[in-house]
Amino acid sequence: PAHGGVRTVSVLGATGSIGDSTMDLIRAEPERYQVEALTGNANVAGLAKLAKEFSARFVAVADPARLGELRAALAGTDVACGAGESAVIEAAARPADWVMAAISGAAGLKPALAAVDRGTTVALANKECLVCAGDFFMSRATAAGAQILPADSEHNALFQALASGNRHELTRVIITASGGPFRTWAAADIEQATLAQALKHPNWSMGQKITIDSASMMNKGLEVIEASYLFALSPDEIDVLVHPQSIVHGLVEFADRSVVAQLGAPDMRIPIAHCLGFPDRITGRAAKLDLAKIGQLTFEAPDFTRFPGLRLAYDALRTGNGATTVYNAANEVAVAAFIAQKIRFGAIARLVEDTLNSWVRAGNQAPLGSADDAIALDQQARNLAATLLPQIAAKAS
């Protein structure tokens, strides 16, 4: 970090769940950080409160209609502000030593790329943008000299464990999954699960979209794809292990059969603290791990039949050339339709599968060369999913 040890940081998605954990860590040692920019989607009051508390230099709200409200909330302060997508991108591009990319969904892609292009260190929580942009995101980071630090707990675990060997010595990585609230449910019950049931995650407290993705195991599917792009691994090199206690987050197997794992309480402040301190270690805020108290750690193989979203992620990775973009876009449409109670829980995976199949049949697969390619395909896949939605909604299962 520049400026005599003070690290300048920006947090994209500061008003969300990851944003909240990040601000909690910054709050604990305020003298170490200068907050450059903060962004939010529509929660102006929350954003303005953070801006004042941390004396941010710039804040952006994504909803362009809320500029007046934001200005009013910041009246009498030195905090500059803006509204709309361009203001969020401006926030991301401002000079910072460290940027947390924690906007949810594919909407996080352009802001994350704006930070990456500055060659800064980017703590990446937003998995959808990586899944949407594929290889392209990582090559852009390499070109700009930006270090990507995975903030997603499983990938952060892999990042830490990978440091104990070389790439050519690695034989496999394993990411764990809690199994979500429906881990032990019969397929017919999962099919009919309600929104309230899907939102009851056993271990982690997270934003709404990722909580639903955890229940369908689409989250783990997104994470398999994320691991593939982050660490340049083939689908065969990535395994998923169901581990209901969520204590072991990721494991790396080396050629000598050593397996190195990272453990910690299920608290996102642990991987975020790793990213915030990197390459040093800072004092954490999460509870210390007490294995004697936990007593038992259990593991089981994932069930690709009850959780087809996981199988579809491997299919999409193998298809390549934009298929993971389609997987993510169709899932975002499906989750929104489930929240709006237009489709059953079980239909989420069906919509993703039908969208992928229909897109593959159309035969337009091509490598993504730019962010605009990724965004265009994302939009095309959303439209395709939206046209398939009524059929899926009508089909009783």
| Contact positions vs ligand NAD (CB under 6 A) | 13-19, 40-41, 43, 62, 88, 102-104, 107, 125-128, 152, 204, 206-207, 210, 268
What is the H or E stretch that residue 81 is in? strand 80-83
Nearer to ligand NAD, 18 or 116 (CB): 18
Q: Cβ of residue 153: shortest distance to Mg ion, in angstroms?
A: 5
User: Residue 216 touches which of Mg ion, ligand NAD, none (CB < 5 to 8 A by kind)?
Assistant: none
DSSP 8-state class, residue 300:
B
Nearer to ligand NAD, 120 or 328 (CB): 328
Q: Cβ of residue 268: shortest distance to ligand NAD, in angstroms?
A: 4
Nearer to ligand NAD, 183 or 388 (CB): 183
User: Residue 88 touches which of Mg ion, ligand NAD, none (CB < 5 to 8 A by kind)?
Assistant: ligand NAD
Q: Cβ of residue 358: shortest distance to ligand NAD, in angstroms?
A: 25
Q: Cβ of residue 101: shortest distance to ligand NAD, in angstroms?
A: 8
User: Residue 82 touches which of Mg ion, ligand NAD, none (CB < 5 to 8 A by kind)?
Assistant: none
Q: Cβ of residue 152: shortest distance to Mg ion, in angstroms?
A: 4
Nearer to ligand NAD, 120 or 211 (CB): 211
Q: Cβ of residue 219: shortest distance to ligand NAD, in angstroms?
A: 7
Nearer to ligand NAD, 14 or 392 (CB): 14
Nearer to ligand NAD, 6 or 45 (CB): 45
| 205 φ, ψ (degrees, to nearest 5) | -105, 115
Nearest CA-CA partner of 314 in 347, 353, 351, 371: 353
User: Residue 77 touches which of Mg ion, ligand NAD, none (CB < 5 to 8 A by kind)?
Assistant: none
CB 352 within 8 A of CB 331: yes
Q: How many helices, marked H, and strands, marked E, lie in the chain?
A: 18, 11
Q: Output the six-digit token pair for 61.
A: 């709200």
User: Residue 103 touches which of ligand NAD, Mg ion, none (CB < 5 to 8 A by kind)?
Assistant: ligand NAD
Write down how long the chain is. 397
Nearer to ligand NAD, 56 or 388 (CB): 56
Q: How far apart are CA 87 and CA 62, in angstroms?
A: 7
Q: Cβ of residue 206: shortest distance to Mg ion, in angstroms?
A: 9
Q: Report the interface residues with Mg ion, using CB under 5 A.
A: 152-154
DSSP 8-state class, residue 15:
T
User: Residue 384 touches which of Mg ion, ligand NAD, none (CB < 5 to 8 A by kind)?
Assistant: none
User: Residue 73 touches which of Mg ion, ligand NAD, none (CB < 5 to 8 A by kind)?
Assistant: none
Nearer to ligand NAD, 269 or 354 (CB): 269
Q: Cβ of residue 62: shortest distance to ligand NAD, in angstroms?
A: 3
**Cα distances (angstroms) measured from residue 360 to each of 106, 311, 312, 323, 384:** 21, 16, 13, 8, 12
β-bridge mates for residue 100, sequence order: 11, 123
User: Residue 210 touches which of ligand NAD, Mg ion, none (CB < 5 to 8 A by kind)?
Assistant: ligand NAD
Residue least distant from ligand NAD (Cβ): 16
**Cα distances (angstroms) measured from residue 246 to each of 143, 177, 297:** 35, 7, 9
Nearer to ligand NAD, 39 or 355 (CB): 39
**Cα distances (angstroms) measured from residue 323 to each of 179, 318, 360:** 25, 9, 8
What is the H or E stretch that residue 271 is in? helix 269-277
Q: Cβ of residue 313: shortest distance to Mg ion, in angstroms?
A: 13
CB contact burial 15-48 (16+ within 10 A = b; e otherwise): bbbbbbbbbebbeeeeebbbbbbbbbbebbebbb
Q: Output the six-digit token pair for 167.
A: 């790439």
Nearest CA-CA partner of 73 in 42, 96, 100, 99: 42
